[in-house]
Amino acid sequence: MLNQIDLARVDLNLLTLFEVVLAEGHVGRAAQRMHLTPSAVSHGLGRLRRLLNDPLFLRTPKGVVPTARAMELAEPIAQVLAGARSIVSSAEAFDAGSSTRRFTIGAPDGVSAVLLPPLLARVRAAAPGIALSVRQLLPEPGDAAVERAWRGAYAELEARTMDIAILPAASSPARFHAQVLYEEDFVLALRKGHALAKAPTLDRYCEAEHLVVSQTGDGHGFVDQLLAGQGRSRRVALTVPNFLFALSVIAETDLVSALPRRFVALHGARHGVTVVEPPLPLGKFQLRAVAPHAAMMDAGLDWLFALLAQSRPAPAKTPTRPPARVRK
């Protein structure tokens, strides 16, 4: 059985030292920023090297550069410090107008691209000192059940390395507070002038070449399951890792993709991408802001939830094709 490390014997201030030296790339500048002497910073780095069993930073004529191990540790250490700062700041009375807190929000990029513009406008108006970090969330590959597909996001919420997750989930585990932000469905996105737009029948849709948004490169998605239920199939010619990249590719090719309606309504026009209604029902889903019930005692988090609710998008207006003329 592995021995647990006694954190009482570890100076956690060394993690802050690591963060500052990594950011500055120079012992002297790190010392100035932390109001220490260069000797004290060097001494702290020596303790940290012994603790982590790695040189961590190598001296160069212009400063220091991180080792490969230091780069591996950068993100976990940043998450630990972010969680600690969140805990400390939540113990203070929260005043949005004067707060300088940083909140971390996780969401699929097709969701954050819809919510972020109105949310940022409200944050700037009500709380100019507050900062946001937005992270892309992706489901676990191969898991259809919502709780398992997003288990990584739920784990990060409970670890307090992320404040709020916005998930396409009809429900969440009982230990989480959830608030519906908006309902979404899918449309077909294609370049302007695409032949499919004139007659988007199911046959022509299946004959087209398709683009699927997939971080893992797996071309089989929920649309394929729906088509298989009707004895149909399609050819996925390309997968890309995010929705914004999908728009730029669609604009320059004859590829067709099923994308979230509000996302395309907001960002499609600037890419020269238009939409048509799909020839088969692609279903609807709810986007919910989620956080642990225990975390909701934080007045700052409660404030951010309220601001997200105010940032709900209006119902998307999708252009419709004029009815076909009937020859007499």
Q: At what angle do helices 38-52 and 27-34 cross, to 10 degrees?
A: 110
Identify the domain containing residue 144 by its residue range.
Answer: 97-319
- Together in a domain, 118 and 44: no
Q: Is residue 4 part of a domain?
A: no
Cα separation, 17 vs 41, in Å, equals: 7
Same domain as 121, residue 81 = no
Residue where a domain stops, chosen among 35, 63, 90: 90
Q: Is the same domain home to 131 and 179?
A: yes
Residue written as tokens 């940032």?
311
Task: Tell how many helices (H) and how many strands (E) occur in the chain.
Answer: 12, 11
Q: Is 3 within the bounds of a domain? A: no
The CATH number given to whatever domain includes residue 249 is 3.40.190.290
Say if 300 falls within a structural domain: yes
CATH number of the domain that residue 16 is part of: 1.10.10.10
Q: Strands 284-292, 209-213: parallel, antiparallel or unpaired by DSSP?
A: unpaired
Q: Which two structure tokens, joined as six digits, stand for 219?
A: 């071309």
Beta bridge partners of 276: 188
Task: Say yes or no: 171 and 294 in one domain.
Answer: yes
Determine, yes or no, domain membership for 325: no
Spatial separation of the C-alpha atoms in residues 88 and 227, rounded to whole Å: 51
Domain count, the chain: 2
Whether residue 157 is found in the same domain as residue 200: yes
**pTM attached to this predicted model:** 0.66
Measured distance CA(154)–CA(164) in Å, rounded: 10
What secondary structure letter does DSSP report for 115? H
For tokens 């642990």, the residue is 292
176 with 270, same domain?
A: yes
Would you say residue 326 lies in a domain? no
The total of other beta-carbon atoms located within 10 Å of residue 315's CB is 11
Using alpha carbons, select from 310, 294, 328 the residue that is nearest to residue 122: 310
Point out the domain boundary residue: 71, 90, 109: 90
DSSP state of 215: S
Asked whether residue 286 falls in the same domain as residue 153, the answer is yes
Quote the pLDDT of residue 147: 59
Whether residue 263 sits in one domain with residue 233: yes
Q: Is 7 part of any domain?
A: no
Among candidate residues 65, 90, 115, the one where a domain is terminated = 90
Specify whether 73 is located in the same domain as 130. Answer: no
State whether residue 82 is helix, strand or coil. Answer: helix
As given in the structure block, the two tokens for residue 118 are 């109105």
pLDDT in the model for residue 297: 84
| pLDDT recorded at residue 4 | 53
Same domain (yes/no): 291, 195 = yes
Long-range Cβ contacts of 220-225 (<8 Å, 24+ apart): 222/282, 222/283, 223/258, 223/282
Closest CA to 302 of 113, 99, 152: 99
Full pLDDT tens readout for the chain, 328 residues:
334 555 666 677 899 899 999 989 999 999 998 888 999 999 999 999 998 999 999 999 989 999 999 999 988 888 788 777 766 665 567 899 999 999 999 999 999 999 999 999 999 999 999 999 999 888 776 655 555 678 888 888 887 889 999 998 888 888 899 999 999 999 999 999 999 999 999 999 999 999 999 878 888 888 999 999 999 999 999 999 999 999 999 999 999 999 999 999 999 999 999 999 999 999 888 999 999 988 888 889 999 999 999 998 876 655 444 433 333 3
pLDDT, position 33: 87
- Read off the amino acid at residue 307: L
Enter the tokens of residue 264: 């395309």
